Amino acid sequence: MAYRVTFIPGDGTGPEIAEATKRVLDATGVDFDWDIQQAGVDIMAEEGTPLPQATIDSILTNKIGIKGPITTPVGTGFRSVNVALRKICNLYACVRPTKYYDGVRTKYKDVDLVFIRENTEDLYAGIEFERDTPETGKLIEYLRDINPDASFGEGTGISIKPISVEGSRRIVEYAFQYARDNGRKKVTAVHKANIMKFTDGLFLEIATQVAAENPDIEFEERIVDNMCMQLVQKPELYDVLVLPNLYGDVLSDLGAGLTGGLGVAPGANIGTNAALFEPTHGSAPKYAGQNKVNPMAMMLSGVMMLRYLKENEAADKMENAIAAIIKEGKTVTYDMKPDRNDPTAVGTSEVADGIIAKMEEA
């Protein structure tokens, strides 16, 4: 039986790394029926939106998809396609493993973490009020009435940070179940409840309740700024981290920095009705069409997809081949060389060739 999977190339360098990933996934021997759909800046002119309805319908119908990176304009323009997909498809859990592979240039050799990030709430809910508008003025007046100590002045933009009982419970329960399913021993809840007592405080309260219901898994909590220091000093002490949306985004990038950067940082967005797999990094449009960028983050996202489909043998074969290529250090892109100007660095498609050859050898 073929798996019907939504395949979104993305924009910028996305199509190149997506094609390389698709070739490697096909070479695992698993039968895929790719449903190719578009999203991002490249489809804007044709569709008038970076996220066509057909793409959304495809994910909701197939219930599984893999996508290349998509550009998110900074400051202006459309909001993040990634955030929109997570909301529309209710992909409430973002899963970002951070794992050391032998051969990666880093001083951290004993790192194997998983960041479980809440995907739908927090400041990424996108509830914002632009400065110097009548609506924002009314909101500032209201906030001054209920909190006279608040120091709001003209020229203030405001974001609302919603954290709910339901959203917090759902993501923490997912983290504990993920730990149990994957042989993990400990879950750490990350928060700033000492300052944000009614939002992060709620998240911590629910996390503590869920932990009491799962006594087979060790639980602890850390304040987010301390957690950043802990990850840099002694990441080997941690296992599964569960975090609200913003902290999860920031700390998972910190985690990627420990183990070689975003070029080897996969990700998945999991919901009750669908799952979407994607690399953590951006679309790097300045390198588009140059066959230059590292495709391994998306390939490792493909490994996560195979495990989600319970194709564990194929997942092991693909991950082992990627690990072997990294360890050898020959068929890798410039960013994985000790000298980024190394003339022996290969291109995106050549990395796929090397990984496919390794799988064939195995």
The token pair at 4 is: 């019907």
Tens digit of each residue's pLDDT (9 = 90 or more) over 266-305? 999 999 889 999 998 989 999 999 999 999 999 999 999 9
DSSP state of 335: G
Tell me, what's the pLDDT at 320?
Answer: 98
HEC states along 46-109? HHCCCCCHHHHHHHHHHCEEEECCCCCCCCCCCCCHHHHHHHHCCCCEEEEEEECCCCCCCCCC
- Give yes or no: 339 in active site: no
Given the residues 247, 249, 292, 358, the one annotated as active site: 249
Given the residues 100, 124, 238, 247, the one annotated as active site: 124
Average pLDDT over residues 3-10: 97
Tell me, what's the pLDDT at 255?
Answer: 96
Tell me, what's the pLDDT at 78?
Answer: 59
Q: Domain extents for the chain?
A: 1-96+265-362, 107-121+162-258, 128-161
> Which CATH code is given to the segment(s) 1-96+265-362?
3.40.718.10
The token pair at 65 is: 């998809």
User: Rounded distance, CA 5 to CA 15, Å?
Assistant: 16
User: Does residue 217 contact residue 176 with C-beta atoms inside 8 Å?
Assistant: yes
Question: How sure is the predictor about 74, in pLDDT bands with cuts at 50, 70 and 90?
Answer: low
Tens digit of each residue's pLDDT (9 = 90 or more) over 104-124? 999 999 899 999 999 999 998
- Give yes or no: 124 in active site: yes
27 to each of 5, 21, 328, 360, how far by Cα in Å? 16, 10, 21, 8
| Phi and psi, residue 22, nearest 5° | -60, -40
Tell me, what's the pLDDT at 42?
Answer: 83
What's the chain's average pLDDT?
93
For residue 349, pLDDT over 80 is answered with: yes
Given the residues 192, 292, 317, 358, the one annotated as active site: 192
User: Rounded distance, CA 176 to CA 217, Å?
Assistant: 7
Tens digit of each residue's pLDDT (9 = 90 or more) over 304-344? 999 999 999 999 999 999 999 999 999 999 999 988 888 99
| Phi and psi, residue 284, nearest 5° | 40, 60
Instruction: Tell me the percentage of the chain whose pLDDT exceeds 90.
Output: 76
For the ranges 31-40, 69-78, 239-248, the lowest mean pLDDT is seen at: 69-78
User: Does residue 217 contact residue 239 with C-beta atoms inside 8 Å?
Assistant: no
- Give yes or no: 92 in active site: no
User: Rounded distance, CA 152 to CA 160, Å?
Assistant: 14
For residue 79, pLDDT over 70 is answered with: no
Tens digit of each residue's pLDDT (9 = 90 or more) over 166-195? 999 999 999 999 999 999 999 999 999 999
Which class for 108: exposed (0-12), middle (13-18), buried (19 or more C-beta within 10 A)? Answer: middle
Report the run of H or E that residue 152 belongs to, with start and end.
none
Which one is predicted more confidently, 297 or 158?
297
Tell me, what's the pLDDT at 182?
Answer: 94
For residue 147, pLDDT over 90 is answered with: no
The end-to-end CA distance of the chain, in Å, is: 24
268 to each of 11, 159, 217, how far by Cα in Å? 18, 26, 23
Q: Among candidates 314, 287, 315, 284, which has minimal Cα distance to 301?
A: 315
For residue 140, pLDDT over 80 is answered with: yes
For residue 77, pLDDT over 80 is answered with: no
For residue 73, pLDDT over 80 is answered with: no
Given the residues 185, 225, 234, 327, the one annotated as active site: 225
Which residues touch 103 (CB under 8 Å, ≥6 apart)? 326, 327, 328, 329, 336
User: Rounded distance, CA 234 to CA 108, Å?
Assistant: 9
- Give yes or no: 192 in active site: yes
Tally of CB atoms within 10 A around 359: 19
Tell me, what's the pLDDT at 139?
Answer: 85
Report the run of H or E that residue 325 belongs to, with start and end.
helix 312-328
Question: How sure is the predictor about 128, in pLDDT bands with cuts at 50, 70 and 90?
Answer: confident
| 107-121+162-258: in CATH 1.25.10 | no
Q: Is the dihedral of CA 244, 196, 209, 113 positive or negative?
A: positive
